[in-house]
Amino acid sequence: MNTVTEPSAQSKCLATLAAVVLTIGLGFIDYITGREWAISAFYLLPTCLAAWLAGRWAGFAVGALCTSAWFVADMLSGAAYQHPLIPVWNALMLFAFFIVVVWLLTAFRRSHYHLEQMVERRTTALRAEIDKRKRLEQAKLQAERLAIVGSMAAQVAHALLDQKHVELRKNLNPELPAVQGDPDQIWEVVLNLIRNAVDAMPGGGNLTVSTQADGAKALLSISDSGRGMTEEEARNLFVPFFTTKSDGTGLGLAYAQQVISEHGGRIDCATVRGKGSTFSIQLPLAVAA
């Protein structure tokens, strides 16, 4: 990000010094040329240089120096006037002109600086908003992809437990209050876990679904009597694209964890090799128990 900054103190000093040197040079040229060359207007150069780069007071100071250089050169050149105060009056008018120019130039410089700052701030804010929108769009796209996978898993999980020789056991608390969340998404997670439990029991077994209150949360448990998992499988359980199935995507449990996390809950798994696995889901209750 490019940041608009004021000139440094060193830059201001160098600009003022350059303006002073230029003023002295102009005064010398003005003296040796007399009235042959009308160079009074060129005194604006060091005055404007100091005002633009070093600030208003530096511009005033250099303007006063330019007026003095013009006055001295005019006096030393021997110019004749009808009245001795005419050159003094001319010098005062020249200095007043320099004051007006410096005032207007520095006002424009300040407005220009503030405009640059405003444009920079708005550009930065716009970039931040664009980056935020891109992140939200990417997150939404990822969620949609996981939702599609979860929906497919839910459809497969419906196929007639009876064909797998799996006995369903339910231990549900009828007095359990409702939980906070999207019922469709939570139902997809449950179906996904049921499908995984059935797949873990290729020769049949027992599938137990139970619910109970756990303080201000609801606890849903899905247990199977299947083969269980190895330490590596349990460690990588919720890692996207990790799967032990030949036709698996490795996104089902990652999707389930994301949904539960977005609902303010958590999902855990306990497994014993050769005896089965239990997935536990905690979700906040809509009304505290």
Residue-wise pLDDT for 206-262, tens only, equals 999 998 988 888 899 999 998 888 888 888 887 777 666 656 566 778 888 888 888
Q: Which residue would you say has higher pLDDT here, 256 or 36?
A: 256
C-beta neighbour count of 16 within 10 angstroms: 21
Exposed/middle/buried for residue 210 (C-beta within 10 Å: 0-12, 13-18, 19+): middle
Taking the C-alpha atoms of residue 92 and residue 74, their distance in angstroms, rounded to an integer, is 14
Taking the C-alpha atoms of residue 172 and residue 66, their distance in angstroms, rounded to an integer, is 96
Which one, of 42, 87, 83, lies nearest residue 66 by Cα?
42
Which range has the worst mean pLDDT, 60-64, 173-177, 239-243, 262-266?
239-243
- pLDDT recorded at residue 71: 83
- pLDDT recorded at residue 246: 58
Right CATH for 158-284 from 3.10.180.10, 3.40.50.150, 3.10.20.30, 3.30.565.10 = 3.30.565.10
- Taking residues 171-183, report their average pLDDT: 82
DSSP string, 142-210: HHHHHHHHHHHHHHHHTS-GGGGTEEEEEE--TTPPPBSS-HHHHHHHHHHHHHHHHHT-TT-EEEEEE
Q: Which residue would you say has higher pLDDT here, 121 or 156?
A: 121
**CATH 3.30.565.10 intervals, the chain:** 158-284
Which range has the worst mean pLDDT, 67-81, 121-135, 194-208?
67-81
Reported pTM: 0.43
**Contact criterion met (CB below 8 Å) for 233 and 200:** no
- pLDDT recorded at residue 152: 53
Task: Please provide the average confidence, as pLDDT, over all residues in the chain.
Answer: 80
Which one, of 146, 172, 142, 168, lies nearest residue 157 by Cα?
168
C-alpha atoms less than 13 angstroms from C-alpha of 138 in its C-beta half-sphere: 6
Which range has the worst mean pLDDT, 47-51, 74-78, 84-88, 116-120?
74-78
pLDDT tier at 278, thresholds 50, 70, 90: very high
- Taking residues 119-146, report their average pLDDT: 78
C-beta neighbour count of 230 within 10 angstroms: 12
- In this predicted structure, the answer to whether residue 146 has a pLDDT above a threshold of 60 is no
- pLDDT recorded at residue 224: 92
- pLDDT recorded at residue 221: 92
Taking the C-alpha atoms of residue 249 and residue 255, their distance in angstroms, rounded to an integer, is 11
- Taking residues 257-273, report their average pLDDT: 90
**Contact criterion met (CB below 8 Å) for 225 and 198:** no
